[in-house]
Structure 1
Amino acid sequence: MLGRRGLAHAAAAAVLPAREALAQARPVRLIVPAAPGGAIDVIGRIFAQSCAALLQQVWVVENRSGANNTLGAAEVARAAPDGATLLVNADIQLMARLVMRNVPYDPVADFTPIGRLATAPLVLVGNPSAAPQPDLAALLAAAKARPDRFTFANSALGSMGHLATESLRRRGGLDALVVSYRGTAPALTDVVAGTTTLMVAPLGSALPFLRGGQLRGFAIMGAERSAAAPDVPSIAEAGLPGLNFTLWYALWGPKGLPTDQVERLNAALQSAARDPQLRSRLAEQAVDPVMESAAEFAAFLATESRRVAMVAREAGIEPE
């Protein structure tokens, strides 16, 4: 009898043959509700390329940024559940109603969970000129003394980076202003330029700037350092244990997507996640692939929804 892992392997293996059964006349629209160049966009495109090849389909990635990732998500929520329109989004999917008063969909009930794609660390970075302090303790002291000199860039209201930023501000006793953007890429661009001072950013997106010296890394927002940036201490090492925030990225369909399509798409994700070339591309972004069934993803969403609601309350985040 096959165990759970064996069943997953068998399902993934079934993705490859039967081209006629799997091909669709219409291309699959993969909606990215964030700006091009950010982590959601990059990871979504990596998986889209692999899934298109595995399923013998054409996948077209479309960026629909705005309204804290809800514009693109709303488009998928309204779409027919026929597999032709899918959503790739991050943890922000669960936070929409915690930070916005008028969200045109239920982030859980109005979508069909297909599977998580990957997880990634967050890192607190700063502009070296605006934040020249050598470590987190010195940075917090400077920001408390002169809050008017420090600002936090935020990729979007309700992102995991937003939760981490507000939790850090509360734990550190900071009054620095938080400025929200329409995605990771434009937010990081302004930190590099010195328009804003600090940001809790996806490590993969920040890595080129860390390596090039345009950004300074103060802490990985987790219990452990990252192999991709071994010189950056964990937030616990930096003096604030317990502020553990990990990004995750996933694939959804509209509500009512048939079970057979969910299973086929999930099998493709798992098959893609085992591909050495894809894993290498993810590693370049400091990202780890996730392999789980659609049912496991749904269970994760239920637990994670309760957790982020609690973190939002503790951080003082309220709908705007």
Structure 2
Amino acid sequence: MKRRSLVAAAGAALLGRDAVAQGSTRPVRLIVPGAPGGAIDVLGRLYGQRLGVRLSQTWVIENRAGGNNTIGAAEVARSAPDGTTFLTNADIHLMAKRVVRNLPYDPITDFTPVGRMATAPLLIVGQPEASRAQTLQQLAEAMRREPGRYAFATSGGGSMAHLAAEGVKRRFGAPDVLVANYRGTAPALNDVVAGSVALMVAPLLSAQPLVQAGRLRAFAVTSATRSAAAPDVPTVDEAGFPGLHFTLWYALWGPRGLPAPLADSIAANIRAIGQETEIAQRLAGMGVDPFTEDTPATFAAFLAEENLRNGRIADEAGIEPE
């Protein structure tokens, strides 16, 4: 038994090296489960192009949009773990089984975690008159007093913004505040600016121009550190709610069973790409930060912890598959 285990481990290591070494003659498909032009697509193309250069491979970006990002993910879950198919997706990947009925895969067990590519903060914002507060502490107090006067708009059910809104209102002690899920960030922001909905947890890059124009008030960023894109906006920790962290993230997975040496090689290259000056500058222009600390093991540990937290919030909020 021990000899067979050693042989299997050696075979996996050889396959991992083989998948990288022979990449120039074996095109790699990077499946993007969203439409062209979205953040996942842009990041996937940026990193896919650089991975192809660094590994002397041909990386082909394929958009497989639909089903809350599940159609493309399902294709990767069905693929052979031979280093020719990968998935780039965002935090919504973990919530798929909680918002899509009869999901044909498990977001955790049917994929091999490789690593995060980038992260981006969210911004708690409100329409200045409708929010009736100047600070996050004042907003929490007002929501506890009159929960019926408030509602959060989000970009969609199961999104990180949705989870953040549910987490924020519970941390504020106002669990009865309504959360309205829209089909996209833009229509949600439009209704908040119009005052139809008082509040939103929004991607910083989308909301910050409206804050600068005075059409929205920024209460805090939902991250541990301030954002360079909004340096005057306090963190939730500074605003009196330490640990209320919800961050958008974008990452890479392979199918289940991807050899560890190959996953390690791809992760090392992701870290190196994020440290390139040109890449960091391009990401900054998108309002995101490169993530240069993940190994497959640390990403897997992060996913396990994030999945538990998300599940707890989803259960409390009554989020169910549709």
1:164, distance to aligned residue in structure 2 (A):
1.5
Aligned twin of 1:171: 171
Q: Residues 30 and 88 of structure 2 are in contact (CA less than 8 Å); yes or no, is this contact kept in structure 1?
A: no
The structure-2 alpha-carbon separation of the partners of 1:277 and 1:248, relative to structure 1 and needing over 3 Å to count, comes to same
Matched residue SS, 2:238: coil
1:301, distance to aligned residue in structure 2 (A):
2.3
Segments of 5+ residues of structure 1 without an aligned counterpart are 1-14
TM-score normalised by length of structure 2: 0.77
Give identity over the alignment, percent: 49
**After superposition, where does 1:12-51 map in structure 2 within 5 Å?**
21-26=22-27, 28-31=29-32, 33-34=33-34, 38-51=38-51
- When the two chains are superposed, the root-mean-square deviation of aligned CA atoms in Å is 3.3
Q: Residues 48 and 59 of structure 2 are in contact (CA less than 8 Å); yes or no, is this contact kept in structure 1?
A: no
- What amino acid maps onto 2:51 in structure 1? C
Quote the Cα distance in structure 2 between the aligned partners of 1:70 and 1:92: 9
- What amino acid maps onto 1:119 in structure 2? T
- What amino acid maps onto 1:308 in structure 2? N
Aligned twin of 1:240: 241
Q: Residues 66 and 182 of structure 1 are in contact (CA less than 8 Å); yes or no, is this contact kept in structure 2?
A: no
- What amino acid maps onto 2:179 in structure 1? V
Q: Deviation string for 1:4-57 (max 9, x for gaps)?
A: xxxxxxxxxxx9xxx9832145452331x3455554344333323322332342
Segments of 5+ residues of structure 2 without an aligned counterpart are 1-16
TM-score normalised by length of structure 1: 0.77
Aligned twin of 1:219: 220
Aligned twin of 1:64: 65
Instruction: Give the number of the structure whose alpha-carbon radius of gyration is greater.
Output: 2
1:252, distance to aligned residue in structure 2 (A):
0.7
Quote the Cα distance in structure 1 between the aligned partners of 2:161 and 2:262: 32
Q: How many residue pairs end up in the alignment? A: 301
**After superposition, where does 1:28-177 map in structure 2 within 5 Å?**
28-31=29-32, 33-34=33-34, 38-56=38-56, 57-62=58-63, 64-67=65-68, 69-128=69-128, 130-131=130-131, 133-140=133-140, 143=143, 150-172=150-172, 173=174, 175-177=176-178
1:275, distance to aligned residue in structure 2 (A):
0.7
Q: Deviation string for 1:136-179 (max 9, x for gaps)?
A: 34444555566565432223333332221101122331534322
Q: Residues 31 and 72 of structure 2 are in contact (CA less than 8 Å); yes or no, is this contact kept in structure 1?
A: no
The structure-2 alpha-carbon separation of the partners of 1:296 and 1:312, relative to structure 1 and needing over 3 Å to count, comes to same
Matched residue SS, 1:282: helix
Aligned twin of 1:12: none
Matched residue SS, 2:54: helix
- Which one of the candidate residues 296, 299, 302 is aligned to 1:297? 299
Q: Residues 123 and 219 of structure 1 are in contact (CA less than 8 Å); yes or no, is this contact kept in structure 2?
A: yes
1:250, distance to aligned residue in structure 2 (A):
1.1
Aligned twin of 1:6: none
Aligned twin of 1:203: 204
Q: Deviation string for 1:267-292 (max 9, x for gaps)?
A: 32122122111112223314242332
The structure-2 alpha-carbon separation of the partners of 1:81 and 1:20, relative to structure 1 and needing over 3 Å to count, comes to closer
Q: Residues 127 and 199 of structure 2 are in contact (CA less than 8 Å); yes or no, is this contact kept in structure 1?
A: yes
